[in-house]
Amino acid sequence: MAEFIQSFSVWGVTLTLGAFALGTWVNKKTGLALFNPLLLGGIFVMIFLSLVQIPLGEYRQNVQFLSYLLLPATVSLAIPLYEQWQALKENTLAILCGIAAGSLTSMCSIFVMSWMLELDPALSASLMPKSVTTAIGAEVAVELGGISSLAGAMIIMTGIVGNLSAATLCRMCRIRNPVARGVAIGTGSHAVGTAKALQMGRVEGAISSLSIAVAGVLTAVICPFLANFLP
């Protein structure tokens, strides 16, 4: 069975897209935020690979093409930002300060946890860029001596948690300003969270898109500095 499936040149891409489509269908049918398509898609892929007994390395090699789409997909988020250019100009300082505060909180929390738990430097380096998009975070983790696959997994999980909890946390914390909500979501849960921000409103989606880029730059600059002081 495994050999038959692997005889198709794009079997991994087909499996990935099919799993995501199935996850989207389940999410729409149930209407439950817990059944996030990205989360379900990952689970479906793992189950399939386990049943058919296809090594994970071969799957990753076959779907490598999809990883090249991460950067243009992130860049395309500039479209909603352009549409809300007026809101950006009116709140530039507040937005930048909010993104800086969120990025520092994310990185410093991992830094403090690393010292308290005496984590291995490679593990700490893999966790530190967890709140930025995979295209940036995975590269930063590798440069710091971390594990690319672990960093990618943590980034995805962070995004899923942010996607699932964004609306609830905004209500609980009484964050009603759309700009503030966009900054919080984009800075804390990158592109996956931004998908939720776009559902919440056009302003939220646009500001969240900007937050991804700025948070990514800040993380790439500050992480190497903090890594020098890891235990």
**How large is the average pLDDT for residues 157-166?**
89
Residue whose structure tokens are 């440069």: 143
Q: How confident is the model at residue 6 (pLDDT cuts 50, 70, 90)?
A: low
Do 18 and 82 have their domain in common? no
Last residue of a domain, one of 40, 67, 94: 67
* Residue 50 belongs to domain spanning: 2-67
CA distances 231 to 70, 104, 122, 123, 130, Å, are: 32, 19, 11, 11, 19
Q: Does residue 53 share a domain with residue 91?
A: no
Query: How many domains does the structure of the chain reveal?
Result: 2
Q: Which residues contact 61 (CB under 8 A, 6 or more apart)?
A: 12
Q: Are 202 and 112 in contact (CB under 8 A)?
A: no
Determine the pLDDT at residue 193: 87
Length of the chain: 231
What's the pTM? 0.79
**Average pLDDT, rounded, for the chain:** 86
Listed residues 67, 89, 120: the one ending a domain: 67
% of the chain beyond a pLDDT of 70: 96
Question: Which tens digits make up the pLDDT trace of 102-143?
Answer: 999 999 999 999 888 888 888 998 999 999 888 788 888 988
158 close to 137: Cβ distance less than 8 angstroms: no
The better pLDDT of the pair 213, 187 is held by 187
Q: What is the pLDDT of residues 30-77, one digit of tens each?
A: 877 778 888 888 899 999 988 888 888 888 888 877 777 766 776 776
Side chain identity, residue 151:
A
> Of the candidates 48, 67, 86, which is a domain's last residue?
67
Q: Provide the pLDDT for residue 4.
A: 65
Average pLDDT (173-197) is 90
